Amino acid sequence: MVKELCFRCKRPVYPTDKVGPLKDGIFFHHGCFKCYICGSRLTLRTYCHNRNRIDDQEVYCVNHVPQAGPHDPIPHRSNLLQGYEAESSLRNGLSPTVGDMKIQHALNATELQKPYPKINHPGARYLLDYDAQTRLELIHRQQEDNMYRRFSQQRIEDERQFTEESKEEWEKALSELAKRYDRNSQKSSKARDDLIRHLTVKRENERETMRQRWKERERSITADLVDKQSKEMIDLFKQARLSLAKRYDRNSQKSSKARDDLIRHLTVKRENERETMRQRWKERERSITADLVDKQSKEMIDLFKQARLTNNVQEVDQKDDGSSYPSTPPPPLPPNDRKRDVYSEISTFEIVDQTAVTVAQSEQRSFTDLIRALTQNCKTDVEVARAIYRWITVKNLNLMEFDQELDPNTPMGILRGIKFGTESYHVLFKRLCSYAGLHCVVIKGYSKSAGYQPGMKFDTGRFRNTWNAVYLGGSWRFVQCNWGARHLVNARDVPMAGSRAIGHSESLRYEYDDHYFMTDPEEFIYEFFPSQPEWQLLKRKVTLQEFEDLPFVRSLFFHYRLSFADANIHAIVPADKSGAATVAINMSPECTKNLIFHYNLRFYDSDETEFNHVNLKRFVMQSTVGHSAIFRVHTPCRGDFLLDIFANAVSPGEYLTGQPLKFKSVCKFKLVCTELNVIMVPLPECSSGEWGPTKSFRLFGMIPLSHEDAIINAGPELEIRFRMTRPLAEFVATLRKNFLDERRLERCVTTTIRADVVAVRIVFPEEGQYGLDLYTREETAPAKKTVGAPGSSGRALLTHCCKYLINTRP
């Protein structure tokens, strides 16, 4: 790639430090853009050229630009010396001042043009020789340069061939269109001539008949008749001309419309073919890149092996404690222990994570420098892999922008595979692991990724995915950097549950998903199915059919340590003849205190969420029994439905603020109802969420004294009592029933507080099914307009605490 050179110092000029082009297409560094005489700094508004000499390409300030002829005295010697001294100071390599720091990027980049980078680190003790690793990287870089050069040449050739074929196709189609409508025009002209000829013959025949019939006796009448017929004939010609003109206009409109349709068709076809060609490019180049990275990784691992042998490092099979790292990759076997046995809190990697975030803010000139910066504080191979994982998730490669012409000798050049689309997260992770001396493999297979729904089959090429396995702590461990990455968010936002954030300023923080680092095989198999069964890393291998039948769960399901009450539950849950289907999720004791669930129900093959103008949520009843969240669904009709269950860990203080809560999906199920013998009615339109008093105890400390179940069977009257464990200032209860006016029900329910006991008394106006919502607030709650609690007249912010489903009979 040709680079512009600075006219003053003859060194490469990079875009961030470029001034120009100026006269005759010359360029300067910002630091070199000075007056040739006095050395003062210039800008594009203050520089001048010598107008007396065309071949003089130097720049001058307004005080020293030559104004006279070539025989005038030259400027004072002191000014010349000052300019020469200023220029020579830069050429002699003096340290740049604060004003010269803008060219630091270019100074760093030019270091890459040397045989191998200058050693700037303080001489830390590394197993692998820096120069040896750097020399191998330079060989790899040259191989990659040749590969990307072939990519570019192949793209240019394919584009040229495609353009020629497209042009030939267009010309042929448009030519046929023009010929077709030219033939139509000739037919139209021939029809006109035939009509004129026919009318002329008819006129002469009639005239001859009249002459024979009338002859001399009716000459005058014949003359009048001929005059009349002549006028009629002229009108007929007029009508014929109008008809021909209209027909011609219609043909022209059809021709124009056909031409537009043809152009539109050819344009769409061209774009589809171009997209297909790009996909072929990407697949071919990704395959070549993966093979090259695999070859280079083996060479780098061999370099580590030689270094270990040189330093008399024992092989892993020669030591009982397994503290040494193996020189050759071991066979794929299930891990010796679980992830939580290695680490249970992410604070274990606090220093490593912070180092990765810091390194990601700067640019490194080589992978060798990058790995040494990342692993400077690492003591184990697990910490090394963690540093690489966090650097990739922080770097956010999907949002990186590259110049159209990316110089491989620049700091960003080491990631140019991302720009070409030939190197992704998993390939980059394997490359960096090899530079750290870690065994890493790329695994291909299926995944339940975006667009997948429970019950789908993996019988096509869709949902193909790739991930990594890296050998850490004596076992193979799964890593999925792509799914572990999160976007950059505002620090004022609360991180989504299940993610962790490490901030580098007051306004920004990086989120990531820790689940996809060293994921246990028993959890990983729920989302990823490898093409090679041995890379399941399971003692009992799972078939593709079993993988499809597994429940569709997300990382938060394991983050909250959830499990299914029915260990044999499948992704497709059949409903019985009454339309009933149940999903029960077990919670760990520590999550029971602050975990809140939500749900959504819709038709499986559409986004429709209503049936007969009723929201499908009203056919789902969520309740908590012990440490289990139970979702009972009664489908309103036959068909397929999608049940999506969400969760979030919320403290009582966060819930009482009344702010909207963010929920994320933990699992999905396909509900299938093939036979329905019972017509289900929707639940009363109460506040969404959990039924029963468990929520009131968990968030408000209210102990149910009279009714502990979510469903109550009662007579014409009912009293529900709670005991408060902390002060609550106000209670508002609302009663709801299908097809019954809410204002009529307001008079049927009252609440009273006596000491620490809250009583809700209800007198039902008629039998049937009712829903009871109960709202409250703490005594310290701020006075605001009431939200979500009718009938409180805007006294204070009330929060929903519980609801009951009540069936009444006389």
pLDDT tens digit sequence for 446-499:
999 989 999 999 988 789 999 999 999 999 999 999 888 754 443 333 343 334
- Choice between 145 and 748, residue whose per-residue pLDDT is larger: 748
Least confident of 65-79, 346-360, 644-658: 65-79
User: Across the chain, what does the average pLDDT equal?
Assistant: 78
For residues 512-528, average pLDDT: 95
The encoded tokens of residue 315 equal 């092989």
pLDDT at 198: 54
* For range 533-560, the mean pLDDT: 95
**Nearest-5° Cα angle at 606, 601 to 609:** 35
pLDDT surpassing 80 at residue 657: no
Judge whether residue 594 has pLDDT over 90: no
Question: What is the Cα–Cα distance from 121 to 203, expressed in whole angstroms?
Answer: 110
What is the structure's pLDDT at 786? 40
Distance between CA atoms of 797 and 656, rounded to whole angstroms?
Answer: 9
CB 597, CB 622: distance < 8 Å? yes
Highest-confidence segment of 308-312, 627-631, 786-790 = 627-631
* Residue 403 pLDDT exceeds 50: yes
Could you give the 3-state DSSP secondary structure of residue 122?
A: coil
Q: Which residue has the higher pLDDT, 532 or 184?
A: 532
Q: Report the pLDDT averaged over residues 747-775.
A: 94
What is the token pair recorded at 462? 């869709």
- What is the pLDDT at residue 261? 81
Domains in the chain (CATH in brackets) are 15-113 (2.10.110), 131-300 (no CATH), 316-539 (no CATH), 551-682 (2.60.40.10), 687-810 (2.60.40.10)
Rounded mean pLDDT of 197-219? 53
Q: What was the pLDDT predicted at 557? A: 95
Q: Does residue 8 contact residue 35 with C-beta atoms inside 8 Å?
A: no
If you count them, how many residues does the chain have? Answer: 810
In the predicted structure, residue 153 carries a pLDDT above the cut 60 = yes
246-260, 433-447, 491-505: which range is least confident on average? 491-505
- Calculate mean pLDDT across residues 62-81: 56
Question: How far does the chain reach from its first CA to its final CA, in angstroms?
Answer: 91
Of 29, 31, 35, 40, give the one whose Cα is nearest residue 50: 35
- When mean pLDDT is compared over 182-186, 399-403, 503-507, 797-801, the highest value belongs to 797-801
Residue 475 has, within 13 A of its CA and on its CB side, a CA count of 18
Q: Is the peptide bond before 574 cis (omega within 30 degrees of 0)?
A: no
Least confident of 196-210, 322-336, 555-569: 196-210
Q: Regarding predicted confidence, which is higher, 77 or 143?
A: 143
Least confident of 72-81, 204-213, 513-522: 72-81
Give the per-residue pLDDT at 86. Answer: 41
Residue 217 in tokens: 């006796």
Instruction: Quote the pLDDT of residue 185.
Output: 58
Select from 413, 425, 433 the least CA-distant residue to 371: 433
Q: Which of the four pLDDT bands, split at 50, 70 and 90, describes residue 123?
A: very low
> Does residue 88 register a pLDDT over 70?
no
Greater model confidence, 602 or 396: 602
Could you tell me which residues come within 8 angstroms of residue 298 by beta carbon, excluding any fewer than 6 positions away?
A: 434
d(CA 397, CA 487): 10
Would the pLDDT of 405 be above 70?
A: no
Whether residue 500 is predicted with pLDDT greater than 70 in this model: the reply is no
DSSP structure string for 489-517: EETTSPPPTT-EEEESSSSEEEEE-GGGE
Distance CA 616, CA 688 (A): 12
Structure-token match 């760990």, residue found: 588
**pLDDT confidence tier of residue 15, bands split at 50, 70 and 90:** confident
Q: Give the mean model confidence (pLDDT) for residues 713-719.
A: 94
Instruction: Using pLDDT thresholds of 50, 70 and 90, give the confidence band for residue 212.
Output: low
Instruction: Give the DSSP letter string of 785-805.
Output: ---S-TTSTTSS--EEEEEEE
Instruction: Supply the pLDDT for residue 495.
Output: 40
The percentage of the chain sitting over the pLDDT mark of 70, rounded to a whole number, equals 71
Please tell me whether the overall predicted TM-score, pTM, comes out greater than 0.75 for this model: no
Beta strands in 397-463 (DSSP E): 440-447
Residue 612: count of CB within 10 angstroms of its CB = 7
d(CA 692, CA 196): 93
Cα dist. 560→521, 646, 664 in Å? 17, 12, 12
Contact present, 772 and 742 (Cβ < 8 Å): no
Cβ-contact 207, 230 below 8 angstroms: no
Please give the Cα distance from 581 to 494 (Å, whole number): 35
Query: pLDDT category, 78, cuts 50, 70, 90?
Result: very low
Query: Per-residue pLDDT averaged across 115-125, rounded?
Result: 43
pLDDT score, position 565 = 94
User: pLDDT at residue 103 above 70?
Assistant: no
Secondary structure of 229-260 in the HEC alphabet? HHHHHHHHHHHHHHHHHHHHHHHHHHHHHHHH
Q: Determine which of 8-12, 51-55, 668-672 has the lowest per-residue pLDDT on average.
A: 51-55
Residue 589 has pLDDT above 70, yes or no: yes
Q: What is the pLDDT of residue 209?
A: 55
